[in-house]
């Protein structure tokens, strides 16, 4: 039969060469096998020391990596981590469940977190510690001295503007000098006089407006006891770049 055609290992037919083939074609078969090996491993330029376990376990079943391609173009043997259950394993060892890692970041499991544990939310709220009791007191600076210039207008009181008051009156002879006298005749023909003394100069007067000196004020605020505040954190995430998590099955 004619020599088979192959470029890579998966194209070789293990049943060739057939029994009736001539021994003269043996060298052609050997050349084909060598070319296929070189085509399949073009970058191998030294000894390969990995065992079959190392090659087979480069990414074990259940291993998860980041995929930069489209979520609808995932390589064979891998699935998007979208929460699927009961996925058949490629090694024939039953099924496997896939975690849902869409819109999530990974935290290392340990003393604070167990494998498979979920939590957190995009928006965060919280409260501060209960503390901060305090009060304020103090005083203003010594200042504010000022005056208003001017005087009241001069004014002479009229009789109608005078307040109710008394005058001292005594009886006696009319004397020369200041004062005024009221003379009247008695029934017996004798005379008597009532004398009213002058009081006040009768001149108009005014009042000045005084100086208001420097002064200060003390103040104290109400006491504020221990308290807390609500804190809203709409988004505390650092800048990010989204990739897809895929798992080998």
Kindly tell me the number of DSSP H helices and DSSP E strands found in the chain.
2, 14
pLDDT tens-digit series, residues 66-97: 999 999 999 989 999 999 999 999 888 999 99
Q: Tell me whether residue 28 is exposed, middle or buried, using C-beta atoms within 10 angstroms of its C-beta: 0 to 12, 13 to 18, 19 or more.
A: middle
pTM: 0.44
97-121: burial string, b at 16+ Cβ within 10 Å, e else = ebbebeeeeeeeeeeeeeeeeeeee
C-beta separation of 229 from 175 below 8 A: no
pLDDT of residue 185: 47
SS3 of residue 66 by DSSP: strand
pLDDT of residue 16: 79
pLDDT of residue 201: 61
Kindly indicate whether the domain formed by 57-104+240-249 is annotated with CATH number 1.10.390. Answer: no
Q: How confident is the model at residue 29 (pLDDT cuts 50, 70, 90)?
A: confident
pLDDT tens-digit series, residues 163-175: 777 666 555 554 5
Alpha carbon distance 161, 158 (integer Å): 5
Alpha carbon distance 48, 140 (integer Å): 87
Residue 57 pLDDT greater than 90, yes or no: no
Higher pLDDT, 186 or 156: 156
C-beta separation of 134 from 224 below 8 A: yes
User: Cβ of 249: how many Cβ atoms within 10 Å?
Assistant: 19
By residue count, the chain amounts to: 249
Q: Tell me whether residue 193 is exposed, middle or buried, using C-beta atoms within 10 angstroms of its C-beta: 0 to 12, 13 to 18, 19 or more.
A: middle
SS3 of residue 124 by DSSP: strand
| Domain spans in the chain, listed from the N-terminal domain onward | 1-49, 57-104+240-249
Q: Retrieve residue 162's tokens.
A: 């005078």
């Amino acid at each position: 039969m004619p020599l088979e055609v192959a470029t890579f290992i998966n194209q070789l037919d293990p049943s060739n060469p057939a029994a009736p083939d001539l021994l003269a074609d043996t060298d052609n078969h050997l050349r084909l096998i060598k070319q296929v090996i070189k085509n399949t491993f073009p970058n191998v330029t030294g000894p390969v020391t990995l065992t079959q376990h190392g090659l087979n376990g480069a990414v074990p079943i259940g291993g998860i990596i980041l995929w930069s391609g489209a979520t609808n173009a995932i390589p064979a043997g891998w699935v998007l981590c979208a929460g699927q259950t009961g996925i058949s394993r490629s090694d024939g060892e039953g099924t496997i469940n896939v975690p849902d890692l869409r819109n999530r970041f990974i935290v290392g499991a340990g003393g604070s977190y167990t494998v498979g544990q979920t939590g957190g939310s995009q928006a965060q709220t919280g409260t501060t510690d209960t503390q901060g009791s305090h009060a304020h007191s103090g005083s203003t600076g010594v200042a504010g001295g000022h005056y208003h210039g001017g005087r009241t207008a001069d004014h002479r009181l009229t009789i109608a503007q005078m307040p109710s008051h008394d005058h001292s009156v005594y009886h006696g002879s009319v004397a020369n000098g200041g004062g005024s006298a009221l003379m009247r005749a008695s029934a017996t023909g004798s005379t008597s006089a009532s004398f009213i003394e002058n009081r006040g100069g009768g001149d108009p007067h005014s009042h000045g407006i005084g100086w208001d000196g420097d002064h200060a004020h003390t103040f104290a605020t109400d006491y504020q006891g221990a308290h807390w505040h609500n804190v809203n954190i709409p988004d505390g995430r650092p800048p990010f770049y989204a990739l897809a998590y895929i798992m080998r099955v």
